[in-house]
Structure 1
Amino acid sequence: MKNIVKTIALGISLAFLTLSFTTIDGNKKEVKTKKSKVTWKGYKVTGSHEGTIDLKSGFLTFKGKTLVGGEFVMDMTSINTTDLEGEYKGKLDGHLKSKDFFGVATYPTAGLVFTDVESSGANTYNVKADLTIKGKTNPVAFTINVKGNKATVSLKVDRTKYDIRYGSASFFDNLKDKAINDEFDLISELEF
């Protein structure tokens, strides 16, 4: 009987000791992918194009009401141009999905993982993250605003860091009005 009591006491002590040194990761709040929206906007010498990309999954992590992390996966096969219709829309959607741009047959998803989050004011955070596109990961920085169960993010992405060089004046000469800016915008409206 004494051995059973000692074993139980030892088990409780070990459990208490383990819990005292374990950090709590926080509360993960899943993003509602169907109610959230990711918009892209690309620029060229003669204008711009814009569209959407579906979120495959995502979550934001909070400690209490403070944002401390996040992770997202985008479905690159869903790239959709919204400022064109018909034949031109089909051609641009197909070109963006091709190896010239995002190579979605080989790289069907892109990911964003927060690496550092600092509060910069009421409901606003400065975030450092790793963005992976076409299997290449680079650091990005942006601001996220969180209010209630919604968050908004806007960031600029230099596509050439992900080996997307098509139409880039940084790599090709004499493009003239066919040049496409190296940076494009990603704007996210998230609901969780």
Structure 2
Amino acid sequence: MKHFIKTGVIAVLVAFLSFSFTSNTEKKVIKTEESQVVWKGYKVTGSHEGTIAIQSGELHFENAVLTGGAFEIDMTTISSTDLEGEYKGKLDGHLKSDDFFGVAKHPTAQLVFTTVTASGKNAYTVTADLTIKGQTAPVDVNFSVYGNKATATLKVDRTKYGVRYGSASFFDGLKDKTIYDEFDLVVDLVF
């Protein structure tokens, strides 16, 4: 009888400890066809904006709290949405050239979360490693999650990734041809 009670107590203890340390960890795959990345770049005389496609991605949650994530962006899909015809073709081609993102040699970019900190209800401050043109630098991302959707906003300093065309930080005398170093990304995710 002592052996039976001892075995029962051990079984209950093991079950209790297992449940105590078990977390509800989930990886949620991004629905790339329903998700969107919008970019906006600025120059002295105005701005341009467009879209770029997410090739793959996932968000990590533990007990419904965001804990991580990773994305791959298809750089070959970069496209302006504020121009049409010949001017659109010229800008899109220039963005894909070695002057900017060199998509022939670097067809993808990656974003990998390194730290996630809750900053409010459904809101997070994320630090991530962003890799563009084979160069990696950290970026800060404001991230919000609501149900099966998330929104992220970030500013990217293109010069940290070797994208220096038209940058007054590297070239003198550009005047009204100057393109500002930072561009904005607004990401709407569905998972």
Report the TM-score range of the alignment, normalised by the length of the smaller protein. Answer: 0.7 to 0.9
Residue 139 of structure 1: aligned partner: 138
Q: Secondary structure at the match of 1:165?
A: coil
Q: How many residues align?
A: 174
| Alpha-carbon distance in 2 for matches of 1:23, 1:80 | 45
**CA displacement at 1:64 relative to structure 2:** 1.4
Contact kept? 2:119, 2:125, Cα under 8 Å = yes
Residue 108 of structure 2: aligned partner: 109
| Alpha-carbon distance in 2 for matches of 1:55, 1:26 | 23
Measured against aligned partners, the alpha-carbon deviations of 1:1-34 in whole angstroms (never above 9, x if no partner) come to: xxxxxxxxxxxxxxx9xx89x9869210001000
Match status 1:55 vs 2:71:
no
| Alpha-carbon distance in 2 for matches of 1:181, 1:24 | 45
Measured against aligned partners, the alpha-carbon deviations of 1:168-188 in whole angstroms (never above 9, x if no partner) come to: 000000001000000000110
| Alpha-carbon distance in 2 for matches of 1:158, 1:126 | 18
**CA displacement at 1:63 relative to structure 2:** 0.5
Unmatched runs of 5 consecutive residues or more in structure 1: 1-15
Q: Secondary structure at the match of 1:140?
A: strand
Aligned AA (1:104): V
Contact kept? 2:24, 2:63, Cα under 8 Å = no
Residue 82 of structure 2: aligned partner: 83
| Alpha-carbon distance in 2 for matches of 1:59, 1:43 | 30
TM-score by length of 1: 0.87
| Alpha-carbon distance in 2 for matches of 1:136, 1:26 | 31
| Alpha-carbon distance in 2 for matches of 1:167, 1:26 | 45
Aligned residue runs from structure 1 range 160-179, under 5 A: 160-179=159-178
Q: Secondary structure at the match of 1:173?
A: coil
TM-score by length of 2: 0.88
Q: Secondary structure at the match of 2:109?
A: strand
| Alpha-carbon distance in 2 for matches of 1:138, 1:93 | 25
Q: Secondary structure at the match of 1:77?
A: strand
Match status 1:41 vs 2:1:
no
Q: Secondary structure at the match of 1:99?
A: coil
Q: Secondary structure at the match of 1:83?
A: coil
Q: Secondary structure at the match of 2:164?
A: coil
Aligned AA (1:110): A
Unmatched runs of 5 consecutive residues or more in structure 2: 1-14
> What is the root-mean-square deviation of aligned Cα atoms in Å?
1.7
**CA displacement at 1:147 relative to structure 2:** 0.4
Percent of aligned pairs sharing the same letter = 66
| Alpha-carbon distance in 2 for matches of 1:23, 1:106 | 44
| Alpha-carbon distance in 2 for matches of 1:139, 1:172 | 24
